[in-house]
């Protein structure tokens, strides 16, 4: 899917953006679980995949912005290793697939950098501790000080490139979407009272693995959708519960998906659940409809917040001037997170490079308000961007109690009414959207999200 010219072109474009020094890219190594040899599933660094395509531990690479030189560092297997792993392509053969001709053993990286010690070395923020230690060894910068020496110009150059998805990347995303559709619809069809959350979780993650991929993040699958950071799957589902499933695949091509649906365990939404569901769905659809180049994503986020606040006012949960309520952030009691984030090789694309570098700029700085401040991406959209749109409404007991005790926003929130929703839970609906030349495209076949559609499917299960 990605040929030599793709990688060569990406590196050429990168070179145009920085004129001095050397870029150092560290690939990821194996990550130990409960002892060194028992490792988690291998995951290469996404930026390393983007520029070099090599999906194996033990690699590093440099790009010299002055000479144009590109070198991949890695070790060929010796005969003893070949006995256990079988014959594998050489480092030179692997490097040739991304158009890099110069390859050297990994232990030459240190001397290479020493020889260039009088020049700036650009490196990206390390997020794995072994790579932090390697940077300390290579560059002499102690782990705790490294955040002060990461290269903002390199971050900005990488973000500029990776943010705009190429045609081949869009195809890779569409390929991943097929797996996501299968994973989500299979999970949905299992829902029934008496089943444990973990039983659906196992089947869904198993499907991602069956395709030769994996999940792009730990699946959220819970009858307690109001607990936003929830990876517990031990509850038995009961009629009357809502089941929130937020799950994505990482396809074998390494591109990610991210969808959320919220289903009624009994097969039909109660009237109260349906009202809130329809409201979240309205926010989801209207937000998607607004996506096009040159609009800021923050504007869309605030529109979704307004739809939610207006709808909650109709239901008697909010009150007063909706515009003012959203301005001040009162909607965040119910919708405390951001509308969405970029997606690509990472499910939160490039989050390792810093959310503000990816999602904000001088023109659109990040808000510090509770709620809108959690929006990961706020800036102007461009053709080729891929974002999630995932509004939600939650009734979070700890947050309700906190605000109520503080008398916070009592002009906008009808706390008496809110009490009657205390055990409601939470609803989120999420899709993945590509920004096109004049508009947008929803990626993948739609996973059912209309009330009637979902109820028809769930009612017709055996």
| Interacting residues with a copy of itself (CB under 8 A) | 28, 31-41, 43, 45-46, 79, 82-87, 127-130, 132-133, 143, 196, 198-199, 201-212, 217-218, 224, 227-230, 233-234, 336, 345-348, 351-352, 396, 398-399, 402
Q: Which CB atom, from 36 or from 362, has the smaller least distance to a copy of itself?
A: 36
- Nearest approach, Cβ of residue 69 and a copy of itself (Å): 28
Strands 22-26 and 121-123: parallel
Dig out the tokens for 374 from the structure.
């959690």
What angle in degrees, to the nearest 10, is found between the helix axes of 167-190 and 451-459? 50
Cβ atoms of 141 and 117 closer than 8 Å: no
- Nearest approach, Cβ of residue 397 and a copy of itself (Å): 8
User: How far, in whole angstroms, is CA 93 from its chain's centroid?
Assistant: 32
C-beta atoms surrounding 363 within 10 Å: 9
- Nearest approach, Cβ of residue 14 and a copy of itself (Å): 20
- Nearest approach, Cβ of residue 97 and a copy of itself (Å): 17
Using CA atoms, how far residue 163 sits from 20, 194, 293, 347, in Å, is 23, 44, 13, 13
Q: Which CB atom, from 74 or from 371, has the smaller least distance to a copy of itself?
A: 371
C-beta atoms surrounding 90 within 10 Å: 13
Q: Which CB atom, from 133 or from 152, has the smaller least distance to a copy of itself?
A: 133
- Nearest approach, Cβ of residue 46 and a copy of itself (Å): 6
Q: Phi, psi (5° rounding) for residue 122?
A: -90, 125
Q: Which CB atom, from 46 or from 262, has the smaller least distance to a copy of itself?
A: 46
User: How far, in whole angstroms, is CA 290 from its chain's centroid?
Assistant: 21
Q: Which CB atom, from 248 or from 448, has the smaller least distance to a copy of itself?
A: 248
Q: Which CB atom, from 84 or from 145, has the smaller least distance to a copy of itself?
A: 84
Q: Which CB atom, from 126 or from 391, has the smaller least distance to a copy of itself?
A: 126
261, 279, 420, 402: CA torsion to nearest 10: 80
Q: Which CB atom, from 132 or from 284, has the smaller least distance to a copy of itself?
A: 132
- Nearest approach, Cβ of residue 13 and a copy of itself (Å): 22
Q: Which CB atom, from 186 or from 268, has the smaller least distance to a copy of itself?
A: 186
- Nearest approach, Cβ of residue 432 and a copy of itself (Å): 17
Using CA atoms, how far residue 365 sits from 31, 150, 260, 306, 444, in Å, is 35, 21, 28, 21, 32
- Nearest approach, Cβ of residue 289 and a copy of itself (Å): 29
H or E element, residue 261: strand 259-264
Contacts of 420 (CB under 8 A, 6+ apart): none
- Nearest approach, Cβ of residue 341 and a copy of itself (Å): 11
Cβ atoms of 172 and 251 closer than 8 Å: yes
Cβ atoms of 372 and 339 closer than 8 Å: no
């Amino acid at each position: 899917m990605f040929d030599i010219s793709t990688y060569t072109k990406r590196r050429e474009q990168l070179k145009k953006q920085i004129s001095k020094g050397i870029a150092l890219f560290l690939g990821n190594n194996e990550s130990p679980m409960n002892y060194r040899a028992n490792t988690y599933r291998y995951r290469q660094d996404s930026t390393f995949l983007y520029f070099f395509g090599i999906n194996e531990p033990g690699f590093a690479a440099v790009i010299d912005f002055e000479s144009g030189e590109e070198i991949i560092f890695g070790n060929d297997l010796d005969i003893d290793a070949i006995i256990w792993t079988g014959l594998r392509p050489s480092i030179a053969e692997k490097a040739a697939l991304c158009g890099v001709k110069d390859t050297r053993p990994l232990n030459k990286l240190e001397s290479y950098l020493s020889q260039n010690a009088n020049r700036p070395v650009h490196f990206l923020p390390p997020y794995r501790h072994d790579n932090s230690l390697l940077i300390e060894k290579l560059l002499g910068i102690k782990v705790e000080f490294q955040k002060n020496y990461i290269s903002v110009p390199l971050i900005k150059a990488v973000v500029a490139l990776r943010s705009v998805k190429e045609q081949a990347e869009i195809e890779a995303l569409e390929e991943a979407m097929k797996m996501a559709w299968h994973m989500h619809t299979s999970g949905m069809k299992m829902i029934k009272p008496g089943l444990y959350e973990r039983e659906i979780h196992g089947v869904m993650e198993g499907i991602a693995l069956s395709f030769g991929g994996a999940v792009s993040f730990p699946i959220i699958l819970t009858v307690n959708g109001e607990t936003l950071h929830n990876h517990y799957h031990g509850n038995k589902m009961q009629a009357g519960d809502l089941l929130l499933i937020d799950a994505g695949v990482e396809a074998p091509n390494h591109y990610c998906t991210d969808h959320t649906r919220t289903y009624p365990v009994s097969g039909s939404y109660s009237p109260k659940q349906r009202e809130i569901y329809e409201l979240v769905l309205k926010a989801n659809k209207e937000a998607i409809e607004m996506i096009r180049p040159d609009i800021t994503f923050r504007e869309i986020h605030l529109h979704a917040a307004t739809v939610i606040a207006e709808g909650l006012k109709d239901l008697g949960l909010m009150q007063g001037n909706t515009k003012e309520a959203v301005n001040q952030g009162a909607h965040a009691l119910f919708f405390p997170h951001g509308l969405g984030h970029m997606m690509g090789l990472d499910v939160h694309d490039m989050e390792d490079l810093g959310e503000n570098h990816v999602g904000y700029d001088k023109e659109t700085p990040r808000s510090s308000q509770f709620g809108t401040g959690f929006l990961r991406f706020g800036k102007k959209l461009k053709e080729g961007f891929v974002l999630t749109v995932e509004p939600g409404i939650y009734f979070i007991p700890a947050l309700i109690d906190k605000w109520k005790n503080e008398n916070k926003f009592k002009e906008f929130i009808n706390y008496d009414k809110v009490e009657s929703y205390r055990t409601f839970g939470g609803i989120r609906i999420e899709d993945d959207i590509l920004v096109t030349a004049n508009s947008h495209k929803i990626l993948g076949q739609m996973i059912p999200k209309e009330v009637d559609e979902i109820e028809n499917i769930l009612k017709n299960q055996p």
